[in-house]
C-alpha cells in the first residue's frame, strides 16, 4: 500500500560517494533533491573498500567542494608493486590518500544535506516508476516501518552501487545492460591493527600473485604503520570466495591485535556500459560500472560521474526535456573524459588475467615495463611506442609469446580506446558503433586465447 507520494526535481537512489556528491552538486545548483539511502544512523557512510584515492581526484573535486581534512587518514606517495615471488618491488610514484572511509562517506552526505538535499535515510529504493516510456520516480520502502512510498521526479539517479538496483529493472532499455561474471571482481578486505609496524607506510602495496588472488591482486593500504586495510580481489568468472583465500594466504602473514572492520563486495571491472542514460534516468559510479578495470578503484569515477551527470541534468532542466536524447550528452562527456581510457585499461586487464606467476615474475624482474611506463599506462592510457620496445625486446629477452601478447594488447588497447573516443553523439548511431566494438574485442580476444566477448 502506498501511503505517501512526494514530488522532487531529482530523486537520487543511494547515498554512497556518487549519490551523495551528485545530491550535493544538484542541491547547490538549486534543485529540489531527495536522497534515498538504505542505511540509517551511524551506518550511513560505511562502505567496504580499500579506501585508496588518487590526489588528482581530490583536486578536481576541490573545485566544487573543499574536502574536510578529517577524511584523510594517510598521505600516500606512490604504489609499491610486488612480483609473485616477492623478489621484485617496483616503486611507482603518484600521490594520494588512504581515506578514513566512514568519515568520508558521512561527510559527503552531510554536505549534500547542508546544500539542501532532503535525506531519506533507511529508505530502500525498490524499482523505478515508468510511465509512457520514461522513468518518473522511484518506489521505495521505509525499512523501519515497512511503509511503501513513491518519490516522483523529473530525473532519477541510480547510484545504488554495484547492484544497480534501478537500471537493472529496466528490461529492454539500453541502460539495463547486465554485468557478466567475467566483468566483475569479488573482493574481501579487513581493516586490522597489527603488532609489527609496516615498512614504508607512505606506499600502498599491490601484490600480484595468481595463487593468492587469481585474476586479481592482493593489497596492503596502510592507514598508518600499524593500522592496515588488507584485502584482495578475485576474477568473478572463477566463482571463488575471496575470504577463503584471505584466511588461507594473507591473514597468516600478520600478527593482528584487533580487527576494526571486515567485509566483502563485488566490483564491476569492465569496459564502459553501452549507455548510462535512459528517458528520465542516469546511472553513476559502480551502478554505471565506471570503475578502473585494472585496479578496481572507483571512488574517483563515482565523483566524476556525479559531476558530469549533474551538469547534463541541469541542462535538461533548462530545456525542460528529460528524454534519453537530452541526457545522452552525459554518455558523450563520460566516454571522452574517462570511458575511452576505461576501455583501454579493460583490454590490458583481460591480457593480465591470462598471465601466470612465471610470466609476472619474469615481466616485473626484467622490467618489461619500467616504473614510468606503468604509471603512464595506469594514469594516461596506452602508448604505442611501447610496441616498438616489445619488438626489440623479443629479439633478446626470451619469452617471445609473452612479449607478443603484450604488444598485441597495447595495439588493441589503442584501437579500442579510439573507438570509445568516437562514441556516437546520438543514439541512432549506437548499434553500428557497438558492432565495431564487439568486432575489435573479438579479434583481440582470439589473439590472446580468450573466447568471444560474452554479451551477458
Binding stretches for ligand FAD (CB under 6 A): 13-19, 36-39, 47-53, 124-125, 159-161, 163, 165, 187, 189, 231, 265, 267, 285-287, 291, 296-300, 302
Nearer to ligand FAD, 104 or 390 (CB): 104
We find the least distance from the C-beta atom of residue 163 to ligand FAD, in angstroms, to be 6
Long-range contacts of 371-380 (CB under 8 A, 24+ apart): 371/90, 371/91, 371/92, 371/93, 374/81, 374/90, 374/92, 375/92, 375/93, 375/94, 377/345, 377/348, 378/92, 378/292, 378/294, 378/295, 378/345, 379/94, 380/341
Nearer to ligand FAD, 6 or 415 (CB): 6
Q: Cα dihedral angle (167, 170, 176, 180), rounded to 10 degrees?
A: 100
We find the least distance from the C-beta atom of residue 357 to ligand FAD, in angstroms, to be 23
Nearer to ligand FAD, 128 or 363 (CB): 128
Cell numbers standing for residue 374: 606503468
We find the least distance from the C-beta atom of residue 385 to ligand FAD, in angstroms, to be 29
Nearer to ligand FAD, 39 or 270 (CB): 39
Task: Judge contact between 290 and 342, C-beta under 8 A.
Answer: yes
Q: Is 340 left (phi over 0), alpha (psi -120 to 50) or beta?
A: alpha
Nearer to ligand FAD, 173 or 266 (CB): 266
The residue among 79, 78, 76, 85 whose CA lies nearest residue 364 is: 85
**How many other C-beta atoms are found inside a 10 Å radius of the C-beta of residue 328?**
20
We find the least distance from the C-beta atom of residue 248 to ligand FAD, in angstroms, to be 18
Task: Judge contact between 308 and 337, C-beta under 8 A.
Answer: yes
We find the least distance from the C-beta atom of residue 347 to ligand FAD, in angstroms, to be 20
Nearer to ligand FAD, 16 or 84 (CB): 16
Q: Which residues contact 29 (CB under 8 A, 6 or more apart)?
A: 310, 314
We find the least distance from the C-beta atom of residue 322 to ligand FAD, in angstroms, to be 21
Nearer to ligand FAD, 159 or 408 (CB): 159
**Cα-to-chain-centroid distance, residue 340:** 14
We find the least distance from the C-beta atom of residue 87 to ligand FAD, in angstroms, to be 25
Cell numbers standing for residue 408: 598485441
We find the least distance from the C-beta atom of residue 41 to ligand FAD, in angstroms, to be 13
For residue 438, give Cα distances in angstroms to 172, 356, 397, 423: 19, 26, 34, 13
Helix (H, G, I), strand (E, B) or coil at 362: helix
Nearer to ligand FAD, 47 or 414 (CB): 47
Distance CA 304, CA 290 (A): 9
Amino acid at each position: 500500500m502506498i501511503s505517501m507520494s512526494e514530488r522532487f526535481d531529482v530523486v537520487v537512489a543511494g547515498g554512497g560517494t556518487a549519490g551523495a556528491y551528485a545530491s550535493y552538486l544538484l542541491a547547490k545548483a538549486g534543485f529540489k533533491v531527495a536522497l534515498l539511502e538504505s542505511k540509517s544512523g551511524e551506518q550511513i557512510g560505511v562502505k567496504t573498500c580499500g579506501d585508496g584515492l588518487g590526489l588528482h581526484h581530490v583536486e578536481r573535486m576541490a573545485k566544487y567542494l573543499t574536502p574536510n581534512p578529517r577524511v584523510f587518514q594517510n598521505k600516500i606517495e606512490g604504489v609499491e608493486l610486488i612480483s609473485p615471488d616477492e623478489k621484485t618491488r617496483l616503486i611507482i610514484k603518484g600521490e594520494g590518500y588512504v581515506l578514513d572511509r566512514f568519515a568520508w562517506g558521512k561527510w559527503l552526505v552531510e554536505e549534500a544535506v547542508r546544500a539542501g538535499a532532503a535525506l531519506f535515510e533507511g529508505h530502500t529504493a525498490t524499482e523505478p516508476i515508468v510511465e509512457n516510456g520514461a522513468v518518473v520516480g522511484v518506489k521505495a520502502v521505509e525499512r523501519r516501518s515497512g511503509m511503501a512510498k513513491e518519490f516522483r521526479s523529473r530525473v532519477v539517479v541510480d547510484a545504488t552501487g554495484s547492484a544497480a538496483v534501478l537500471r537493472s529493472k529496466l528490461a529492454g532499455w539500453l541502460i539495463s545492460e547486465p554485468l557478466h561474471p567475467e566483468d566483475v571482481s569479488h573482493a574481501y578486505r579487513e581493516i586490522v591493527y597489527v603488532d609489527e609496524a609496516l615498512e614504508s607506510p607512505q606506499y600502498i602495496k599491490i601484490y600480484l600473485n595468481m595463487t593468492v588472488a587469481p585474476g586479481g591482486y592482493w593489497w596492503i593500504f596502510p592507514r598508518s604503520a600499524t593500522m592496515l586495510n588488507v584485502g584482495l580481489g578475485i576474477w568473478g568468472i572463477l566463482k571463488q570466495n575471496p575470504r577463503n583465500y584471505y584466511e588461507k594466504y594473507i591473514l597468516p602473514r600478520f600478527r593482528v591485535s584487533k580487527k576494526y572492520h571486515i567485509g566483502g563486495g563485488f566490483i564491476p571491472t569492465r569496459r564502459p556500459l553501452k549507455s548510462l542514460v535512459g528517458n528520465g534516468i542516469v546511472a553513476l559510479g559502480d551502478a554505471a560500472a565506471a570503475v578502473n578495470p585494472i585496479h578496481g578503484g572507483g571512488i574517483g569515477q563515482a565523483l566524476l560521474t556525479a559531476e558530469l551527470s549533474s551538469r547534463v541534468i541541469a541542462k535538461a532542466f533548462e530545456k525542460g526535456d528529460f528524454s534519453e536524447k537530452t541526457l545522452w550528452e552525459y554518455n558523450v562527456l563520460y566516454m571522452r573524459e574517462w570511458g575511452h581510457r576505461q576501455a583501454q585499461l579493460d583490454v590490458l586487464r583481460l591480457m593480465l588475467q591470462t598471465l601466470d606467476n612465471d610470466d609476472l615474475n619474469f615481466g616485473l624482474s626484467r622490467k618489461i615495463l619500467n616504473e614510468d611506463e606503468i604509471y603512464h599506462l595506469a594514469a594516461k592510457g596506452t602508448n604505442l611506442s611501447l610496441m616498438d620496445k616489445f619488438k626489440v625486446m623479443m629479439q633478446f629477452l626470451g619469452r617471445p609469446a609473452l612479449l607478443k601478447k603484450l604488444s598485441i594488447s597495447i595495439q588493441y588497447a589503442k584501437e579500442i580506446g579510439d573507438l570509445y573516443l568516437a562514441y556516437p553523439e546520438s543514439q541512432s548511431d549506437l548499434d553500428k558503433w557497438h558492432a565495431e566494438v564487439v568486432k575489435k574485442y573479438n579479434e583481440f580476444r582470439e589473439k590472446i586465447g580468450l573466447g568471444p566477448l560474452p554479451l551477458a
